[in-house]
Amino acid sequence: MTRLLFDYGHGGTDPGAMYKGRKEADDVLSIGKAVAAEVRRHGVALDETRTSNKTVSLRERSNMENRKKYDYFISFHRNAFQPEKAKGAETFLFTTGGALAKQLAERIQKELVAVGFTNRGVKRANFHVLRETKAPAILIEIGFIDNTADNQLFDKKRKQIVEGIARAILAQVGVTYKAAASKPTSSSTGTLYRVMAGSFADKANAEKQVTRLKKAGFEAVIMPK
C-alpha cells in the first residue's frame, strides 16, 4: 500500500519567508493540506509533519520520515529573494536523488508551469529534508512570496494548483486522478420556493404569459387556483 509523507515548511516560531504581512508557513500549510485531502480522496495513505501552526525542527521532520517506510517525501515551500525581483516555480531533489524523485519532481513542475508560474526548472540541492530522508524526496517552491504576480497566481489559481499537484503525485503512484463530483446547489433548509408570474381570470392570457416566460428561458406551467 502506498504511503506518503507531506512536509509543510516552517511553522510556529519560524514563519519562513514573509512579505507584506504574508507568511510562507501559513501559505504552505493551507495549500499542502488541500493537496493532502485530494490525495486521500483517492484512497492513498498520507501522513503530515504538522497540521497546525506549530514549530517542527528539520531534525524532527526527517526523524518522522525515518520511523516509517514511505514511498515518497514531499516538502511544500514558497520562495523568496528580493521584493519583486524574482518569480516562478521550481522543484528540488537531493544532489544524488534517484530516478523516482526526479520523475515526481518533473511531473509536479510541469503542473505548476501549466497553471501559469514561470518555469525555473527541476534542480538538485543539499537541503536537510532531502538529504536525511530515506524515501525518494522532493521539495516544491510554489512561486515567490515576495512577488506580487506570483501571490496573485497562488491565490486566484489555488484550485488548479491543488488539483495539479495532486494529479502529478497520484500519477506517480499509479492512481488516476478523478475530479470531485460537483454538489447541487440548494438552500440550507432543503426548502424550495416558487415564484409567481401573475394571475389571470382569462386562461388565454395565462397561456400567453407561459409562452413569454418559456421564450425567456424560464420553466412555466399553469396552475389553477
What's the pLDDT tens digit per position in 19-45?
999 999 999 999 999 999 999 999 999
Look at residue 177 and tell me if it is in a domain.
no
Catalytic residues: 141
In this structure, the answer to whether residues 22 and 64 fall within a common structural domain is yes
In this structure, the answer to whether residues 40 and 127 fall within a common structural domain is yes
In this structure, the answer to whether residues 114 and 213 fall within a common structural domain is no
* Overall number of domains in the chain: 2
In this structure, the answer to whether residues 43 and 121 fall within a common structural domain is yes
Can you tell me the distance from the alpha carbon of 156 to that of 159, in angstroms, rounded to the nearest whole number?
8
- How far is CA 42 from its chain centroid? 14
Domain of 71 in residue numbering reads as 3-172
Query: Mean pLDDT score of the chain, rounded to an integer?
Result: 92
Q: Is the pTM of this model over 0.85?
A: no
Residue 122 sits in a domain of what CATH number? 3.40.630.40
pLDDT digits (tens, 9 = 90+) for 179-225: 988 766 555 556 666 666 777 777 777 788 777 777 766 767 776 66
In this structure, the answer to whether residues 12 and 50 fall within a common structural domain is yes
Output phi, psi for 224, to 5 deg: -60, 140
Percent of the chain residues topping a pLDDT of 90:
80
Look at residue 187 and tell me if it is in a domain.
no
In this structure, the answer to whether residues 116 and 220 fall within a common structural domain is no
Residue 75 scores a pLDDT above 90: yes
